[in-house]
Structure 1
Amino acid sequence: MTVGPMPSEFVDPDELRAEFCSALSKMYRSEVPLYGDLVELVDEINDRADEQESWQISDRLKVERHGAIRLGLPSELHTISRLFRLMGMYPVGYYDLSGCGVPVHATAFRPTTRSSLSKNPFRVFTSLLRPELIPDAKLRDQVLSILSKRDIFHPTTRALISQAETRGGLTRPETNLLVQHALETFKWHEEALVPAETYARMRAVHPLLADIAGFRGPHINHLTPRVLDIDAAQAGMPARGICPKAIIEGPPRRLCPILLRQTSFQALTEHIRFPGGGSEGSHRARFGEIESRGCALTKKGNLICLHPSNPLHSVPLVANQHVGHDLYLSLMAESQRTAPPNESNAAHQTLLHQIFTHRFPDTWTSLRQEGLAFFRYTLITPPQPLSNNTTLDELIDSGNIQAEPIVYEDFLPASAAGIFRSNLGQEQSEHVQKNIEAEEESTRKQFEIALGRPVEDFCDLYQAMESDSLQAVERTLGYRLR
């Protein structure tokens, strides 16, 4: 009887994720050399960073990346979910981009624990086509037929996924094989899957439709390093021959950064060949992106409030209490209503600054005390003498407890759509836009059925991190904080 490998011989998911991320970055650098220039710029800026912002600076910064792929079928989403699960990456957040004029919905596969995030916070923003938003029924049927005949996964990848699920992991040689063959799914293919006329019809409806259904695989369309000063990155790109997108997406520059700011260089115009020989064209989809991450904000109904009688349990928000994410969205909506057309990045940032100043607090103390952001609590030194009347605020003020902002690990639908639109060409489709605006019913359940599991609510994850850290402090102190 043959005895299989013991669990101790299996490669840890965190290690597998780090190896795949590194291999993917190396492949993308070879395919898109400007990405390498972008990484060098980011490294230079980060090396000059103020070490006082220790909550943002860690070993993970040099390797931190997020990527993005666009899938065509629920079955493709299901298999990619199984692959990422082997890497310790789970679907977090549901993003419906259709309201922003992009006919997809999405999730982000990422690690969910503090330990795994600290080792390698690789994320993949994964979109799935919504074919019901293709207004041309004949083209819609043709697209689905094309997608049903392709297989974006190498046979070895499929076999290793099943093997790992059966046995509980992969050995070192098997892991090496998985990384090698899984890269095939993310690789650029110069030859289109469809004839030139079909490609043109899809592109006329929406450029993203041609990108999803016109090729053999989903080819990763960008990899994103994390920079600590995105304004410096935006200003520094032209000097390196990199053309940045017009504006930085997300909130304005702040003393206390929040959520996510993103910019990118314009997508490359790449040569493609159509099947049959003799027919050639061009395609725009792949680009380089930079992101700057701030702290995670609270969301209505999910905020932990310290209740005097039982501070370890969450209680509902009072009606007039501000919550961070809702406040952010309302201020961004105001900026969109008042923004002039074709504004420059400088004008855009000035407008955001004017709207946010005095209306969104910009000190860590006010963000914490007003319940706008999530924090991780660490006991630095127990107070002497111990007193169960001492409040959390008093122990933070005295330096006994450290309150550190929790990094926002997720995405913003409007920002993602802005990046997508800026890198898919200037074509617009009124037909798709009207179809999208008429769509009211949520498709989250169908998305989760395809995944084979529910998506996790990122706000719940941040809440749990904050709550766990506070409970650890209270266990050490031996009493509950007020």
Structure 2
Amino acid sequence: MPANRCVSRDEIRAAFSAAMSAMYRAEVPAYGTLISLVTKVNAETLSRDQALRASLEATETIERISEERHGAIRLGTAQELAMMRRVFAVMGMLPVGYYDLSEAGVPVHSTAFRPIDEAALKINPFRVFTSLLRLDLIDDAELREEARRILAARRIFSDAAVSLVEKAERDGGLSREDAGLFVLEVLDTFRWHDQALVDRALYERLHAAHRLIADVVSFRGPHINHLTPRTLDIDAVQERMPGEGIAPKAIVEGPPTRACPVLLRQTSFKAIEERVSFRDAAGDPQADSHTARFGEIEQRGIALTPKGRALYDRLLRQARATVRPAADGSNADAYRATLAASFEAFPDDWNEIRKAGLGYFLYTVEASAFAAAKATGMDMEDLIEAGVVRFDPIVYEDFLPVSAAGIFQSNLGDHAAQDFVASPNQRLFEQALGAPVANEFQLYADMEKASAERCLAALREGAAAA
């Protein structure tokens, strides 16, 4: 099929994101309540913070904020992960970053599938945090092999979905009709299924090893376990959730409240209890319940450079070494105070962050041809000082392993029978994935460099025309 007759990957991604949101709203009604609350808070925040509005208009589209979502899924086998990579590629989503969640006691390692170029992110920045179960971390050899056998027998993608992926790879894309079918077929992979693949006894054994292991192994597909809208004021959402009948987790994960937000802050409401059925010895269904899916909210700040990230990690470790947040929230106030005190060492002014090389920024020409003529011979610092060029933070598009684990544990329970020590293995993950993961720092650095080069080129052209 000629490329110009294919639907753009961005359009397919936007359609899939909308379909996923509608499905999850129907499956988890509290998610719809959450979306309404986030929409209200975002509107209020933009109305009172004109500087934030101007920055968002310079670097993103404000319309993007209301549609922005990230989801999360957990896969069981290398084959599932490799096929999922091909599925997301049809939507213009590539694997970015490697996350070892075993360092926080969760037996998975992960990547984030997302668009990577500036234009695609502005159209729709849908991301899916995708984890692969680490069966090698299960101590019980018999249980490990039983889980491996169950996972090897399941098929999470329909034949039609696989066929459409192959067609997109062969033809360089999909027609409008095929794109619509693709969204429907792939959406079914993420749908909740209430009939377990295992009996109650095996579920209990898996659950005793870790609740997440039970969630991955016991069902026939990687049901979307949360879908996350982006808020511009996570503290306001956290405070107002109880008034909407939603019980939030005790603390917001990530950095403290700041004038200049960095990286990612996340909170969630408690996982819902859902009716499921397990097979008994005779193969008949037995009604029971399972807890796994929840609602999450995020506030995104600036993407940090390696230097900035090292400082962030050090300050977070320092705070958590002093006060470890309790799952029940009993020391929440002490933790928040300790976290805020620790992060006093991180500059809270955009220009200080920029000059210290701690974060990535987008540069744009602020002024007219007059300024372009005036700018002849100036370097970037002079241009910024003269008000010719403005700088705005590049939004962080990725994730934080400690925060992700904190969300998982607060919703799945943190009283697992087995502890997991940090055991990163990016080589093994990429082997399962069938491709390397992109380096997020390089993506942000390239974006910043390209914006600076565009500014200088525009100013040279303006000076020549003056």
Equivalent in the alignment of 1:219: 223
Contact (CA 8 Å) 1:56, 1:407: kept in 2 or not?
A: no
Determine if the alignment matches structure 1 residue 284 to structure 2 residue 283: no
Question: Secondary structure of 2:220's match?
Answer: coil
Task: Report the AA paired with residue 284 of structure 1.
Answer: T
* Alignment CA distance shift 1:364-1:176 (3 Å): same
Kindly state the Cα deviation for residue 398 of structure 1 after the two structures are TM-superposed. Answer: 2.1
Aligned residue runs from structure 1 range 96-245, under 5 A: 96-245=100-249
Q: Equivalent residue for 2:366?
A: 380
User: Partner of 2:312 in structure 1?
Assistant: 328
* Alignment of 1:468 onto 2:450: yes
Amino acid at match of 2:441: C
For 2:300 and 2:332, locate their aligned partners in 1 and report how far apart those are by CA, in whole Å.
19
User: How far is the alpha carbon of 1:355 from its aligned partner?
Assistant: 1.4
Shift of 1:281: 1.9
Measured in 2, the distance between the counterparts of 1:38 and 1:340 equals 28
Structure 2, gaps ≥5 residues long: 462-466
The separation in 2 between residues aligned to 1:452 and 1:255, in whole angstroms, is 41
| Structure 1 stretch displaced more, 401-410 or 46-55 | 46-55
Give the 3 Å change call, closer, same or farther, for CA 61–340 of structure 1 in structure 2. closer
1:168-213 CA distances to partner (integer Å, 9 max, x unpaired)? 1111111111111111110000111111111111000110000000
Structure 1 residue corresponding to 2:335, chosen from 338, 342, 348: 348
Pair 157,226 (structure 1): closer, same or farther in 2 beyond 3 Å: same
User: What is the distance in 2 between the residues matched to 1:339 and 1:74?
Assistant: 38
Which runs of no fewer than 5 residues in structure 1 stay unpaired? Answer: 300-322
How far apart in 2 are the matches of 1:70 and 1:471? 40
Aligned-residue CA RMSD in angstroms? Answer: 1.5
SS at match of 1:456: coil
**Separation in 2, partners of 1:345, 1:292:** 19
1:277 CA displacement: 2.6
> 2:373, 2:459 within 8 Å by CA — same for their partners in 1?
no
Deviation at 1:352, TM superposition (A): 1.4
Q: Deviations over 1:85-110 (max 9, x none)?
A: 00000000000101110000000000
In the alignment, structure 1 residue 407 sits paired with structure 2 residue 395: yes
CA displacement, residues 305-331 of structure 1 (integer Å, 9 cap, x when unaligned): xxxxxxxxxxxxxxxxxx210000000
Cα shift at 1:341: 5.7
Aligned residue type for 1:12: S
Deviations 1:76-128 (A, max 9, x none): 00000000000000000000101110000000000001100000000000000
CA contact (8 A) 2:253 2:403 kept: yes
Using a 3 Å threshold, how does the CA distance of structure 1 residues 180 and 12 change in structure 2: closer, same or farther? same
Q: 1:156 to 1:395 in 2, by over 3 A?
A: same
Contact 1:246 1:344 in 2 (8 A): no
| Greater helix proportion | 2
Distance in 1 (alpha carbons) for counterparts of 2:379 and 2:225: 49
Q: List aligned pairs for 1:387-398, cutoff 5 A.
A: 389-398=377-386
Q: Give me the whole-angstrom Cα distance separating, in 2, the residues matched to 1:65 and 1:395.
A: 36
The structure-2 alpha-carbon separation of the partners of 1:332 and 1:165, relative to structure 1 and needing over 3 Å to count, comes to: same
Q: Find out whether 1:444 has 2:426 as its counterpart.
A: yes
Runs of 4+ in 1 over 6 A off after TM superposition: none
Cα distance, 1:384–1:51 mapped onto 2, change above 3 Å: closer
Partner Cα separation in structure 2 for residue 68 and residue 169 of structure 1: 25
Q: Distance in 1 between matches of 2:410 and 2:276?
A: 20
Look up the SS of the partner of 2:111 in the other structure.
strand
Q: Does 1:337 align with 2:336?
A: no
For 2:93, the equivalent position in structure 1 comes to: 89
Q: Distance in 1 between matches of 2:372 and 2:4?
A: 45
| Maintained 8 Å contact 1:374/1:405 | yes
SS at match of 2:435: coil
The C-alpha deviation readout for 1:59-78, integer Å capped at 9, x for no partner, is 10010000000000000000
